Amino acid sequence: MEQLAPHLDRWRQRALIAGSAGAAACVMGFLIAREQFFRAYLMGFIFVLGLALGCVAILMLHHMVGGGWGFVIQRLLESGTRTFPLLAILFIPLALGVHSLYEWSHPEVVAADKILLGKSAYLNAPFFYGRAVFYFAIWILLAHFLNKWSAQLDESKDNQMIRRMQYVSGFGLLLYGLTVTFAAVDWVMSLEPHWFSTMYGLLFIIGQGVTVLAFVVLLLMLLSEHPPFAGVVRAQHFHDYGNLLLAFVMLWGYTAFSQFLIIWSGNLPEENVWYLHRLSHGWQYWAGFLLVFHWAVPFVLLLSRKTKGHLRNLAMVAAGLILMRLADLYWLIAPAFQHNGSGAFSFHWMYIAAPLGLGGIWLWYFLGQLKTRPLLPMGDERFIAHLKHAHAHEHGH
């Protein structure tokens, strides 16, 4: 850690500078165009929240399966889960902007709309706030216990801690799936409250997997050159991460196409209007861009052992996928506010400023958390066995 600390400090400083610049731009944007600020802030918040949620999901998956790939990134994932308190604070602007974002928050609009009136028992501001508190409470509790028992395992080397993390991960994955689905419905799908999809939450779950796997690949590319990761991170690990990324990219493509096929073939006006807003007036080119660069190109590249066998090649794909996650969120969120006018495609600079500001602040906080704990779970006997096996394999024993 001593050798890596200066690098972490330097990266934290850069993240803080970027975050501060983005935040300053957002403040200026709020003063100039308040409505646009909340829309861009929503996209940036969903993106950084996806990083933390992806961390807790992949961490629990690792505890359930115990693969060698998970031990190397375990402490990175744990650091990501400890950012939920920060994200709860960053949610406050969205809570304050409910009336700017959601038409169901206006009683006069609901009273004049039979569909909204029928959904008003669920879609109302007090219940919206209460559910948000519940979601964050679940996520913070899951992160608390997973981090607490992991730290105790380092100190005591008590296998009981491993079993506890496995038990809470099994139940926690179920809670994760439910809370993320309802949060996606509350915070994004209800932007267009007449429309619904039973596959919507799954798209966000898969997207979070893509985001966090791409993020840890980029981070490991930097960390693998320094102790304690030097000599521990091997080519096989990146091959595993490449395969996981391939699986999530395939799942994203399958789920996104399945949702489109079911809704489009049903040809019901209350359902297909959501796609009509996103496949006309220039938005169809953005959809095609996503199809090519969020699915087709990464799919082909990640099939190749040459991509997964070379760290920098995999890192380039990972960087592209992070940009595509932002592009996907923009496609999901921005058209919801434009179909009442001309519906024509447009792009506001705050959709860059908000992710930059929130992402920089989140990364600064994340790297600070990374410094507070050992970077590898040396108290876990499964990790020690994995290291011995990898060493023996390299020497042909």
| Contact of 286 with 346, CB cutoff 8 Å | no
pLDDT band at 317 (very low <50, low <70, confident <90, very high): very high
| Contact of 337 with 42, CB cutoff 8 Å | no
Q: What percent of the chain has pLDDT over 70?
A: 96
User: What is the torsional sign of CA 162, 163, 165, 166?
Assistant: positive
> Across residues 269-273, what is the average pLDDT?
84
Residues 188-219 pLDDT 10s? 999 999 999 999 999 999 999 999 999 999 99
CA distances from 190 to 235, 297, 337, 386 (A): 43, 31, 12, 46
Residue 341 has pLDDT above 50, yes or no: no
Q: What percent of the chain has pLDDT over 90?
A: 76
Domain that holds residue 73: 5-394
pLDDT at res. 156:
87
Residue 392 has pLDDT above 70, yes or no: no
User: What is the torsional sign of CA 368, 1, 146, 329?
Assistant: positive
Higher confidence at residue 148 or residue 311?
148
Alpha carbons 219 and 158: distance in angstroms, whole number = 30
Residues 128-153 pLDDT 10s? 999 999 999 999 999 999 999 999 99
| Ranges 5-14, 155-164, 380-389: which has the least confidence | 380-389
> Across residues 279-289, what is the average pLDDT?
93
Residues 221-233 pLDDT 10s? 999 888 888 888 8
Residue 394 has pLDDT above 70, yes or no: no
> Across residues 221-248, what is the average pLDDT?
90
Number of domains in the chain: 1
Model pTM? 0.95
pLDDT at res. 343:
61
Give the residue from 339, 316, 335 showing the smallest Cα distance to 327. 335
Alpha carbons 387 and 71: distance in angstroms, whole number = 10
CA distances from 186 to 74, 88, 135, 331 (A): 30, 16, 11, 17
Of 39-43, 274-278, 384-388, which has the strongest mean pLDDT? 39-43
> Across residues 354-373, what is the average pLDDT?
96
| Ranges 98-112, 152-166, 183-197, 330-344: which has the least confidence | 330-344
Mean pLDDT of the chain: 92
| Contact of 343 with 281, CB cutoff 8 Å | yes
pLDDT at res. 308:
87
Give the residue from 295, 254, 322, 294 showing the smallest Cα distance to 51. 322
